Structures are given as C-alpha cells and as structure tokens.
Amino acid sequence: RILILDFGSQTTQLIARRVREAGVYCELYSYDTPVEEIRKFAPRGIILSGGPESVTEAETPRAPQEIFDMKIPILGICYGQQTMTAQLGGTVEAGDKREFGYARVRMHGHSKLFHDLRDEQEDSGAEWLHVWMSHGDRVTRLPAGFKVIAETPTAPFAGIADEARGFYGIQFHPEVTHTTQGRSILQRFVHDICGCGSLWTPGHIIESMVQSVRAQVGQDEVILGLSGGVDSSVVAALLHRAIGKQLTCIFVDNGLLRLNEGDQVMETFARHMGVKVIRVDAQDRFLSALKGVADPEKKRKIIGGMFIEIFEEEAARIKNARWLAQGTIYPDVIESAAAKTKKAHVIKSHHNVGGLPEKMNIKLLEPLRELFKDEVRRIGEELGLPHQMIYRHPFPGPGLGVRILGEVKKEYADLLRKADAIYLEELYRHNLYEKISQAFAVFLPVKSVAVLGDARAYDYVVALRAVETVDFMTANWAHIPYEVLGIISNRIINEVRGISRVVYDISGKPPATIEWE
Ligand code: XMP
C-alpha cells in the first residue's frame, strides 16, 4: 500500500486513482498527519502531492521530517519535489509566476523511475518525455546524494533522484493525461521502486470486502435504503453476496421516479438476484405533502423529511436490525474531511438517511467508503449488475420533484416521465447516453399555443437538458446533433398528449445549475 500526502493540489485525487488503477491500494492523508498515523498505515512508499503554496515562504506546509528516515521510497511531485528538496538540505528559489503547461523534458542517464519510457528519441541518443509541467518555484541546488534525471532549458532540475534511498522528485504532473507516460511513471514507482504487486483488482476488492463485512456484522441483520442509483445498488449486491438473507433493502417509491424505475429495481434485485427488497408505495403521501408548495428548497425538505419518516417506519418493523448500510464512497469521505479543515467547501447532503443512526440506535456500515466511483462501477460489473444500471447518470434524491417547476402534481409527473423516457431512449439508441454526463427532461408548467388540426390548443412545454462535466461543479451544455433533437422533439410531441412544445437548454454552469431548481 501507498500513502499519498496531500498538499492541496487540484489533482491529488487523480494521483490516487492512477495508483489504484495500477492495482495498488492507496490512501490520501493530509500533509500534516502525525507521523505515528503514517507508521500505523505502514506504507511501502509515499507520494508527496503538488500544492498551491510556495516553499520559499516562511511557514509553508512541510511533510513530517521523520518520513525521510522510514527507509521507504518517496516520490515528490511538483510542490512535493520542492518540499522534499528543502527538507533534505537543498535549495528552492521563487519563480516569477506559476504556470501550468506542456513541456518536453530530456532524460539523463538511466533511472528506475523512467526505465524504458520515452516519447521521442533523437539520433544523438537524447530521449524526451512529453509532460505537463508546473513552473513556479524551482529547485536550484540538490540535496546531498541527489542527481538530475530530467531537465528542460528552463527547469534544469525537472527530475531528480537519490536512487540509493529511493527518493525521486519531479517537477511535472504524472497524474494528468497530458503527461503521456505519466501512468507508466507512477507504475514504475509503485511496482518497481516500492515493490507493490497488482493486488487491488475488482475480484480482490470484492473478496476482501466480503470478508470484512462478515467479520463486522456477524449474525446481525442489516438494512439498506436502496434507491436504484449506482452506489446503493452496488452496496446491495455486495452485501447480498456477503451476508445473503441478513440483508433487507427498503425501496421507497415516492411517485417522483422515472418511468418504470420501481419495477426495474424489483426486477434486478428481487427477481434476478434474490435480494430481500421491501417496496414501499408512498406516492400519495409524498404528493399530498407537496400540495401547494412551489419553493424548491421547501420541496427538497419535505421530500427528504418524508423519506426519513417512511424509512424509519419500515425499519422499525425489521427485528434485530443492528446496522444501517450506506453507499458512502471515498470522494465523500475526502470531501467531508476537507470540509472539517477548510471552510470554503460546499457539501451536498446526498445521503438521505443522515441523522438516522443516532435516532435508531443503529450502527453505520459503509463498505464502499474506500472506493472511487470508477472502482465502484467495476466491482458492480463484477458482481453482475446490469451495465445500464452502473453507468446511469446521477439522479437527485428529490427526483422529479425538482424537475417539475413549482408545485408538483401527479398529472405533471406522469407527463414528464413519458417525455423523459423518450428522450433517454433516443440518446441510448444514438449512442449518445454515455458520452453525456447527465441528461433529463424538465416540466414547465406554462401553456403555449398549439394548432391541432384546425383547432387551437394550449398545452405544456418540456425542456431538455444535457450537460458534459467532470465534477458537476461546472458544466457545458452538450452538443446533441440537431437531427437527434428533432427526432426526440417529434416523438415527445406526437406521443405525449398534453405536451406540444419542446425546447433545448443551452445554458452553461455557472451560472445555470444543472437541475432547473
Ligand atoms: P446542480 O443542479 O446543483 O447539480 O448543478 C449538481 C449535481 O447534483 C445533483 N443534485 C442533487 N442531488 N439532491 C441530490 O441528491 C439534490 O437536492 C440535488 N440537487 C442537485 C444534480 O442532479 C447534479 O448531478
């Protein structure tokens, strides 16, 4: 296992994902983690991430000095390289400005880190890598024992190493895809230099999670709120494999789900896999609680509150339930840890059952809390969940409740469900669904004029939203081909009586949020 000490770079999570993709388990700790905790984690190697600070200022973040005496390899990336240099007695000087950009670095001699890697080779024998460089502060004098393994005209110490101790520093970012050989460089470090094997594979992950879940819960009963989303679905499949009938899932149909969603969840889990699922039909309760409410945040509160109320009622009927399982994943854990130390982080309260454990005197079981989303998907596939379910776009907890603008009515939800299903069906049919990050229809409770035969009619409007995004914090509207939009619009207008106009949302986030409410 590898430990990554986080100095706050935007791309630290990417380092972790690349290391895991190389089949090696790793975790992210804050740079100021006490050394005892690091020793307890017992890493085979440490990676120091990049960060926004400058080593040349007083009181800048430093790695615990003791890690350099732990006799394990260390790789410093960007800021990590600089702090390693400074902490080992070298010199770092301030550059004028921090820049992030493409560069060609020339390798020197042979190093284990770049062994057999190159993007270009000249007749003279010179070998080059294409990398994404961070210019800013730079190393100007090496600590004792170090030599240069890569340079550029502006960065004579772009790569440095003390191979006897297994210390490496690079000024560029191997975790971003612009560094062509980046993935291989990280593999060289974790496999060849640290000596870690490729054990972190979906099969192994499942096996070790099954063992630890069994050890944790013993003979106790476990309950899980199953939503049909990726994370809770994977938890259900995993727990079913681990503890079978000790698991009871509660699926609440709030009347704000997509077309046939409830049936599909029952089909996949109850029928195919034999998971115990209680389906609660609570449409009327949700709809009557929402009557007359138009404010989005009020709607969210009502839907969330009602969910908890119903979930508690159902859970109370399950005798001996000692554990509440949740689909918390590693980015959620990192985000909440970051929010504790940094103040500016906004957190979505996407776990609808927050607050329940204390009230119900029940313990939390979070088997996915060490996994990234792509790992969750891979083990979901390995567990036999349908591909479509695993690669589904995110769907908000309040569901269609925030996609029907203003007051929610059953009539609106029924119209929207039909329009949305046609939209998604055509995206799948044209192979666009998985290229888009999130797509859905929005119901606008306004009527516009339609000419039906000779008569005028006043029917509702539906807006189509589709975005491309990496982190859902910013997003671009997706450029769906006009022909496909035409087909979707025709079908909705022809097949959904009550909707006579379809519009396409071409707003980016910011400022327009992905959901309309
Ligand atoms: P916005 O609309 O804020 O959405 O750009 C960003 C992402 O969050 C989802 N979203 C929600 N998820 N409960 C949820 O569980 C909510 O109340 C909620 N509001 C937005 C949205 O679908 C998108 O993926």
Rg of the chain over Cα atoms, rounded to whole angstroms, equals: 27
Q: What is the pLDDT of residue 33?
A: 94
CATH code, 334: 3.40.50.620
Would 225 be classed as within a structural domain?
yes
Would 61 be classed as within a structural domain?
yes
Q: Give the end of a domain, one of 139, 173, 193.
A: 193
Pocket of ligand 1 (CB under 6 A): 300, 348, 350, 394, 396-398, 438, 472, 509, 513-515
Would 399 be classed as within a structural domain?
no
339 & 224 share domain: yes
Token pair 């090696």 is at which residue?
Answer: 24
Q: Give the end of a domain, one of 165, 193, 221.
A: 193
Helix (H, G, I), strand (E, B) or coil at 106: strand
Q: Could you identify the atom of ligand 1 that is nearest to the CA of residue 395? A: 22
487 & 382 share domain: no
Task: Show the tokens assigned to 356.
Answer: 């329940």
Helix (H, G, I), strand (E, B) or coil at 22: coil
- Count the Cβ atoms, other than its own, within 10 Å of residue 36: 10
Q: What is the pLDDT of residue 352?
A: 47
Question: Is 124 assigned a ligand-binding role in the annotation?
Answer: no
Would 517 be classed as within a structural domain?
no
139 & 280 share domain: no
Would 366 be classed as within a structural domain?
yes
Exposure string of 423-437, with b = 16+ CB inside 10 Å and e = fewer, is bbebbeeeebbeebb
375 & 417 share domain: no
Predicted model pTM? 0.85
Would 511 be classed as within a structural domain?
no
Amino acid at 317: R
Q: Ligand 1 centroid vs 85 CA: distance in angstroms?
A: 43
Residues in the chain with pLDDT values less than 50? 343-352
Is it true that the peptide bond before 511 is cis, omega within 30 degrees of 0?
yes
342 & 235 share domain: yes
Per the structure, the count of domains in the chain is 3
Q: What is the pLDDT of residue 424?
A: 98
CATH code, 462: 3.30.300.10
- 360-384: per-residue pLDDT in tens? 778 999 999 999 999 999 999 999 9
7 & 155 share domain: yes
361 & 234 share domain: yes
393 is catalytic: no
- 71-122: per-residue pLDDT in tens? 999 999 999 999 999 999 999 988 776 667 899 999 998 899 999 999 999 9
Helix (H, G, I), strand (E, B) or coil at 98: coil
Indicate the top mutation candidate among 227, 403, 438, 514 to test ligand 1's pocket, ranked by most ligand atoms within 8 A of CB: 514
Q: Give the end of a domain, one of 193, 218, 239.
A: 193
Report the sign of the C-alpha dihedral through residues 359, 364, 366, 369, in that order: positive
150 & 223 share domain: no
174 & 250 share domain: no
133 & 246 share domain: no
Would 512 be classed as within a structural domain?
no
| CA dist list (Å): 376 to 188, 200, 213, 385 | 25, 13, 16, 11
Is it true that the peptide bond before 510 is cis, omega within 30 degrees of 0?
yes
Q: What is the pLDDT of residue 343?
A: 38
382 is catalytic: no
268 & 342 share domain: yes
Token pair 């895991």 is at which residue?
Answer: 20
220 & 182 share domain: no
Q: What is the pLDDT of residue 344?
A: 35
Would 400 be classed as within a structural domain?
no
Q: What is the pLDDT of residue 155?
A: 86
Domain limits for position 328: 202-390
- ipTM of predicted assembly, 2 dp: 0.99
CATH code, 95: 3.40.50.880
194 is catalytic: no
